[in-house]
Amino acid sequence: MKKILLTDFGSTYTKLTLIDLELEEVLATSLASTTVDTSILDGYREAFSKLGDHGEIAEKLACSSAAGGLVVAAIGLVKQLTVEAAKRAALGAGAKVEYSYANFITKDEIEEIKTSNIDIILLAGGTDGGNTESILHNAKMIAEAKLEIPIVLAGNKMTNDEIEQLFIDNNIYYEKAENVMPEINVLNVDSAKEVIRKIFIEKITLAKGIKEAEKLVDDVIMPTPAAVLYGLEILGNGTKNQEGIGDLLCLDIGGATTDIHSIGRGLPSKAGVVFQGLEEPIAKRTVEGDLGMRYSANALYATVGNRAFQKYGLDNVVDKITFRRKNTEYVPENKEDIEFDVVMASICADEAMTRHVGTVESVYSPMGMMYLQKGKDLTGVKYILGTGGVVVNHDGIVEKTLFNSEKITELRPTECKILIDKGYIFSSLSLMSVRYPDIALRMMKKYLL
Amino acid sequence: MKTIVLGVIGADVHAVGNKILDYVFSNEGYHVVNIGVLSQQEDFINAAIETNADAILVSSLYGHGELDCRGFKSKCVEAGLENVLLYVGGNIVIGKQNWRDAKQRFIDMGFDRVYPPGTTPAKALSDLKKDLK
């Protein structure tokens, strides 16, 4: 019996899952508070003792979104092009993109970067052979400011030699990746994603005290959202030996953010539709920092307003919202408060989907009606996976991401099977899929379908 | 290598001429950034900024070119592309109009070269070679 222990150092909880690789079964799971303030090992030890005795464990892997996760700033030239490409690369690497800068960065912006909680800067700009001025200027600003934040250099390759020399001369730590947008509207995120992961493992986990966990686990291999995205790709696209389940979506509503992942090309599914704009990543992740159940409760209200709640027959919700923002650990017990949480989650799901999914608009032309698609067409998606407490415990929330006649231009899924991550094991299985894709895929099918 | 941005403006989906121009200019050694049909002014401009383009070549085949091209040059100037050449060609106006008047209207809009229906790619090619010297 070969056993693997998977640990997810989450922002709130440290979750452990013990799996038997030969029987392909979950043997035990346990949970304790994440303890980055003292030592991350405290929470781990507590959770580990709750697991019970299961004999020898052959392998121990971990992923982490503790200590604020991974915050990346994206820098590019044109907002809709290289800035957007850099953002997508960072999101795909499991980061939160709280800052993004276009054109030529200014001293004020450098000051903002300095005083922020940014872990990595993804520096892009220009297609290969294209604009050089913007990225050179921005690299100079970074060098002059002697920023101590690791840089991922992923812009116009013609500028690499000059920028590398500049960074070496000014002791700026950097790693080089391929251009995130080598040609107009061509997205190339894999290389930058891999470099971000490498820096995360080598530098960021160390700085945040997560590396310490490696005294007790073998490896902290990636940020949790990156693991989940990887697992979803395995589940959707399959492995070399096994079919996946096809295009799918994943909805995760948390206290601070609402994340949506989609796996699939999302190309136009109907005739006469023309795709426009930057290419979409096959594994796309969007993170909405203003849609959440607790930390972002106020932001949610500010974004959607009272109107959104009125649709669900609620009014004057400010007190309830403020209460949830102040009491982030709050778990509702009476029917009214539970229902209120479900309404909040429904609004988060609906709004996050609006921002994730592609749209189609009709264009009148002398040749008749033409259709223009921006973003991903997800109408043909067959499965939606729901994760996160509120989604797992209450019905009817995931459905809010489906086709809605009030939002007719959005290319949302029409007929979908809803899967729920009841045992909270999907992130663990995803982490495992990095090393054991076939076993992980069989187990995902077994536990979710 | 000189870079040109090529595309069909507005709600126009004529793809064939666009592909022919792409082929001709690529064969002549230009780096062609082809943004394709149904392209807005902003799409041309954004592509030109990122690729550091030397010229923008706008096609319009469906007769609404004059509406679609209004304000294009001003946006280029605003985006720092005042020195990027701006060409337009195709069936850029409708009806039986005096070509000289039509052409003048596009010149006044800030286009460097304006081509009537039936212009061969070779003409634009030789102009571009001259203009980009």
Q: How far apart are CA A166 and CA A132, in angstroms?
A: 15
- The per-residue pLDDT for A185 is 86
Q: Which of A191-200, A208-217, B58-67 has the highest mean pLDDT?
A: A191-200
Question: Mean pLDDT over all residues of chain A?
Answer: 93
Distance CA B13, CA B29 (A): 26
Residue A23 corresponds to which tokens in the numbers above?
A: 């029987």
pLDDT tens, position by position, A2-47: 999 999 998 888 999 999 999 999 999 999 998 888 889 999 999 9
In chain B, residues with a C-beta closer than 8 Å to the C-beta of A126 are 50-52
Interface touch B50/A78, C-beta < 8 Å: yes
Beta-carbon separation of B50 and A80 below 8 A: no
Q: Which amino acid is at A343?
A: V
Residue B78 reports pLDDT greater than 90: no
Please tell me which of the candidates B13, B39, B53 has its beta carbon nearest to residue A365: B13
Interface of A with B in 47-86 (CB under 8 A): 77-78, 80-82
The lowest-confidence range among A36-45, A189-198, A347-356 is: A36-45
Q: Which of residues 37-66 of B touch A (CB under 8 A)?
A: 37-39, 42-43, 46-47, 49-53, 62-64
Cα separation, B45 vs B43, in Å, equals 5
In this structure, what DSSP letter does residue A410 have? B
Res A368 pLDDT > 80: no
Active site (annotated) includes residue B12:
yes
Disruptive mutation site among A75, A78, A134 for chain B (greatest number of B CBs within 10 Å): A78
CA distance A333 to B91: 69
Could you tell me which residues are beta bridge partners of residue A74? A100, A122
**Residue-level pLDDT at A83:** 95
Please tell me the least confidently modeled range out of A54-58, A442-446, B55-59. A54-58
Q: Residue B64 has what pLDDT?
A: 87
Q: What is the percent of chain B with per-residue pLDDT over 70, rounded to a whole number?
A: 100
- pLDDT of residue A318 exceeding 90, the answer is yes
Q: What is the largest CA-CA distance in chain B?
A: 40
Strands A96-101 and A71-75: parallel
pLDDT digits (tens, 9 = 90+) for A60-75: 999 998 888 899 999 9
In terms of Cα–Cα distance, which of A299, A290, A266 is closest to A280? Answer: A266
| β-sheet bridge partners, residue B73 | none
Q: Which amino acid is at A233?
A: E
Tell me the pLDDT tens digit for each residue of A220-253: 889 999 999 999 999 999 999 999 999 999 999 9
Percent of chain A with pLDDT over 90: 78
Triad A24, A26, A30: Cα angle to 5°: 155
CA distance A440 to A434: 9
Judge whether A365 and A313 are in contact, CB under 8 Å: no
| ipTM rounded to 2 decimals | 0.76
Model confidence at A363: pLDDT above 90: no
Is the pTM value of this prediction over 0.90?
Answer: no
Alpha carbons B103 and B100: distance in angstroms, whole number: 5
Chain-centroid distance, C-alpha B113: 9
Residue B24 tokens read as: 């001709």
In the structure encoding, which two tokens stand for residue A218, read together? 């073998």
Round to whole Å and give the CA distance between A158 and A343.
51
Query: Residue A350's pLDDT is what?
Result: 96
d(CA A375, nearest CA chain B) in Å: 15
Angle at A43 between CA A37 and CA A49, to 5 degrees: 160
**Rounded to an integer, what distance in angstroms lies between the CA atom of residue A216 and that of residue A7?**
11
pLDDT of residue B20 exceeding 80 = yes
The nearest CA of chain B is from the CA of A411 a distance in Å of 20
Active-site position among B12, B22, B54, B68: B12
- Above 90 in pLDDT, residue A91? yes
* Chain A neighbors of B36, CB-CB under 8 A: 274
Q: Looking at residue A328, what is its pLDDT?
A: 86
How confident is the model at residue B7, as a pLDDT?
A: 97
Measured CA to CA, the distance from residue A7 to residue B50 in angstroms comes to 42
Q: Answer whether A126 sits within 8 Å of B62, measured CB to CB.
A: no
